[in-house]
Chain A
Amino acid sequence: MKQLIYLDNAATTKTRPEVVEAMLPYFTEYYGNPSSVYEFSGISKKAVQDSREIIANSLGAKTNEIYFTAGGSESDNWALIATAEAYADKGKHIITSKIEHHAVLHTCEYLEKRGFDITYLNVDENGSIKLDELKKAIRPDTILISIMFANNEIGTIEPIKEIGEIAKEHKILFHTDAVQAFGHVPINVDEYHIDMLSASGHKINGPKGIGFLYIRTGVKSRSFIHGGAQERKRRAGTENVTGIVGFGKAVELAVAGMEERARKETELREYLMERVMKEVPYTRINGSRKSRLSNNVNFAFQFIEGESLLIMLDMKGICGSSGSACTSGSLDPSHVLLAIGLPHEIAHGSLRLTLDEVNTREEMDYVVEAIKEIVAKLRSMSPLYEDYIRHQRN
């Protein structure tokens, strides 16, 4: 295979070798079902409990508040649907934002069809929700606020602590989709007044197909998967023991290396952004410059379309993603880019690159050169650029 520069870590990450190593014995040696009574299966049960403890500790939560799921999307579905049902007699109003992941947005649409009223908060040009709008949106029948910790496309970190305080003050439950943030930034559920939190294993160098939902003690929630008594009778199904073990290991490593990782990624991110902004004209950076995930870079290149850009980057061995319509299979570009106020044609020209601490400055140099060449080529083919230049001359 040709050289590979993987810059799509918000999509998924490489599973760390230490994680795989930790998982392996639970496939072939300790394959017992944690629910069985014999001593042999007790090894699996303990492994699940150990991972639960690592995760609980990383959030300042209790072990019995962590419920393993199949991933971030399931956790979001559970948090929204089960809470809506459990609190429907108190009210049917939920507040979320326009830039949530589809796991939240489409679940909200599902709830709307079942009689719930959803407020989708606007965001500012950086992608931050406006706290005064949140306060104004609160009604006596509001039962839940669900705002993502950090945005998956533009990397903006939301004012979670302030949102948590507002929710607490009004005695409204607060759920946060922390799939992009968990393991990347420090989170304490008590400090931030978080009642529910969704996270996923494969975004932090853990395995795919494993996630969890944190549910604070006292929050009413029904069983999401019916069946056996696993996960305190709230999420049936034999535990994904290998996944849980791998997730635990990944969290342990992520927490231990968080500061160092953020420092390395931020340095690379700033270098990449500065070079591109300096060397590629008609370019903008999407998302907040200050409150931003350390590994997220998001550009919009005017006059070109994202899918073409991605294919050409791929030809040079660079993996990225775009919010253009063509990459999403719909006719509209990313809802996040439209929500921060980008016109359609500029949103089509977006490029998201999400780094990992293993990336190097040399790789960033290669990427900058590739972007310069490709953007220039696509612009030379673009009727929009042709018109722009013509208008400039006249």
Chain B
Amino acid sequence: MYTEKVMDHFEHPRNVGEIENASGMGTVGNAKCGDIMRIYLDIDDNQIIQDVKFKTFGCGAAVATSSMATEMVKGKSVQEAMEVTNKAVCEALDGLPPVKVHCSLLAEEAIHAALWDYATKHDIKIEGLEKPKSDIGEEEVEEEY
């Protein structure tokens, strides 16, 4: 069902984790639909993404796209990171099954949400960046058994 690259990123996801006091953090998706992505960015004074980490609740494609997206933005300027689109992530993974393409959309949204958080905190304008629609933040509280 998945390409070798997707399986590789699923089996060995890159950049999993959290960043304390991150420059920007964004969470998108919805537990109801079964996909949540969170991206942490560490951005230096020259607006270069020095480090990036992610956490994802979701299917194989969701994990793989998160992992690939983090690899693609690492070391880039915030402006360059805007070019990491869902299409680019999808292509870098040699494609996704049609029903899973929405997962790559989530990766792009998660990066944008994290960049938006950074831009707002630092009062910076990033060309082409819009306020994320689906940043669900941390208010989602799990039900306990």
Give residues in A with beta carbon < 8 Å to B.
282, 284, 302-305, 307-308, 311, 315, 324-326, 329, 331, 333, 343-346, 348, 380-388, 390-391
- Give 8 pairs: A residue, B residue, CB < 8 Å, sorted on A: A305-B57, A305-B59, A308-B10, A346-B143, A383-B38, A386-B18, A387-B138, A387-B142
List the 3 closest A-B pairs by CB distance, nearest first.
A345-B31, A326-B59, A307-B59
Name A331's contact: one of B33, B56, B61 (CB within 8 Å).
B33
Across the interface, do B10 and A311 meet the contact criterion of CB distance under 8 Å? yes
Query: Which residue in chain A gives the minimum CB-CB distance to B66?
Result: A381
The range of chain B's interface size is 20 to 34
| C-alpha spacing A170/B57, complex, angstroms | 49
Name B60's contact: one of A311, A329, A344, A384 (CB within 8 Å).
A311
Query: Which residue in chain B gives the minimum CB-CB distance to A283?
Result: B145
- Shortest CB-to-CB span from B78 to chain A, Å, is 22
| C-alpha spacing A363/B123, complex, angstroms | 58
Task: Let me know if B63 is at the binding interface, CB within 8 A.
Answer: yes
Name B57's contact: one of A325, A329, A382 (CB within 8 Å).
A382
Most A-side CB within 10 Å, residue of B16, B18, B142: B142
Across the interface, do B34 and A305 meet the contact criterion of CB distance under 8 Å? yes
Q: Which residues of B35-83 are within 8 A (CB) of A?
A: 35-38, 55-63
| C-alpha spacing A302/B32, complex, angstroms | 13
Task: Let me know if B127 is at the binding interface, CB within 8 A.
Answer: no
Chain B residues with CB under 8 A of A303: 57, 142
Chain A residues with CB under 8 A of B11: 315
- Shortest CB-to-CB span from B18 to chain A, Å, is 7
- Shortest CB-to-CB span from B27 to chain A, Å, is 6
Task: Let me know if B140 is at the binding interface, CB within 8 A.
Answer: yes
Across the interface, do B63 and A348 meet the contact criterion of CB distance under 8 Å? no
Query: Which residue in chain B gives the minimum CB-CB distance to A327?
Result: B59
Query: Which residue in chain B gives the minimum CB-CB distance to A382?
Result: B57
| C-alpha spacing A344/B32, complex, angstroms | 5
Across the interface, do B34 and A308 meet the contact criterion of CB distance under 8 Å? no
| C-alpha spacing A300/B43, complex, angstroms | 38
Query: Which residue in chain A gives the minimum CB-CB distance to B99?
Result: A329
Across the interface, do B34 and A384 meet the contact criterion of CB distance under 8 Å? no
Given contacts A302-B145, A326-B34, A333-B34, contact A308 B60 (CB under 8 A): yes
Across the interface, do B58 and A308 meet the contact criterion of CB distance under 8 Å? yes
| C-alpha spacing A390/B27, complex, angstroms | 15
Across the interface, do A282 and B145 meet the contact criterion of CB distance under 8 Å? yes
Task: Let me know if B13 is at the binding interface, CB within 8 A.
Answer: yes
- Shortest CB-to-CB span from B51 to chain A, Å, is 17
Across the interface, do B59 and A343 meet the contact criterion of CB distance under 8 Å? no
Most B-side CB within 10 Å, residue of A329, A344, A384, A388: A384
Chain B residues with CB under 8 A of A302: 142, 145
- Shortest CB-to-CB span from A31 to chain B, Å, is 38
| C-alpha spacing A307/B35, complex, angstroms | 11
| C-alpha spacing A311/B7, complex, angstroms | 9
- Shortest CB-to-CB span from B43 to chain A, Å, is 20
Across the interface, do B31 and A344 meet the contact criterion of CB distance under 8 Å? yes
Across the interface, do B59 and A308 meet the contact criterion of CB distance under 8 Å? yes
Across the interface, do A305 and B142 meet the contact criterion of CB distance under 8 Å? no
| C-alpha spacing A380/B17, complex, angstroms | 8
Name B140's contact: one of A284, A307, A329, A384 (CB within 8 Å).
A384
Chain B residues with CB under 8 A of A282: 145
Chain B residues with CB under 8 A of A343: 143
- Shortest CB-to-CB span from A347 to chain B, Å, is 9
Chain B residues with CB under 8 A of A383: 27, 36-38, 55-57
Binary flags per residue of B20-32, CB closer than 8 Å to A gives 1, else 0: 0000000100011
- Shortest CB-to-CB span from A81 to chain B, Å, is 30
| C-alpha spacing A308/B57, complex, angstroms | 9
- Shortest CB-to-CB span from B132 to chain A, Å, is 15
| C-alpha spacing A390/B55, complex, angstroms | 14
Query: Which residue in chain B gives the minimum CB-CB distance to A345?
Result: B31
| C-alpha spacing A383/B138, complex, angstroms | 9
Across the interface, do A307 and B60 meet the contact criterion of CB distance under 8 Å? yes
Most A-side CB within 10 Å, residue of B31, B56, B59: B59
Besides A325-B34, A382-B55, 8 more A-B contacts (Cβ < 8 Å) are: A302-B145, A303-B142, A305-B34, A308-B58, A329-B99, A384-B31, A384-B142, A391-B141
Query: Which residue in chain B gives the minimum CB-CB distance to A331?
Result: B33
